[in-house]
Amino acid sequence: MTRFGDWAERFKPVARARTHLLAAALLWTVVGLGLAAAGIAWSFGSAFPWSLLLAVAGVAAGVVKGRFVILKMADRNTARIIARVTAAASLDSWPRRPGFSSPQ
């Protein structure tokens, strides 16, 4: 292994899969609550009948997107985290792109 590879392996941050799943759940819960708050503030900034219509349409769109898009992505990411227990910031988890070489 190269000198950089030895250093990267020695200082690679590693956590259990359970810790990664908890961090991801907390992160996306905060993001979802922030988006919901922004959407509610935006929809109720308009006149009453329109605000109710916008709120109902937003909730319906969110449920549909959550069921058909987000659930699949969450399952795929959960499987990836469980299969590969490395830290998100580790060099080993960087995407493989032309011009980027793995430290291994």
Q: Read off the pLDDT of residues 35-53 as tens digits, 9 standing for 90 and up.
A: 989 988 887 777 778 888 8
Contacts of 93 (CB under 8 A, 6+ apart): 84, 86, 87
Question: What is the pLDDT, as a whole number, of residue 91?
Answer: 43
Amino acid, res. 92: D
Question: What is the pLDDT, as a whole number, of residue 47?
Answer: 79
pTM above the 0.85 mark?
A: no
- Domain regions of the chain by residue span: 3-93
Please state the separation of Cα 58 from the chain's center in Å: 21
Block mean pLDDT (10 aa), the chain, length 104: 77 80 93 89 80 86 92 91 62 49 48
Question: What is the pLDDT, as a whole number, of residue 99?
Answer: 53
CA–CA–CA angle 8, 13, 102 (5° rounding): 40
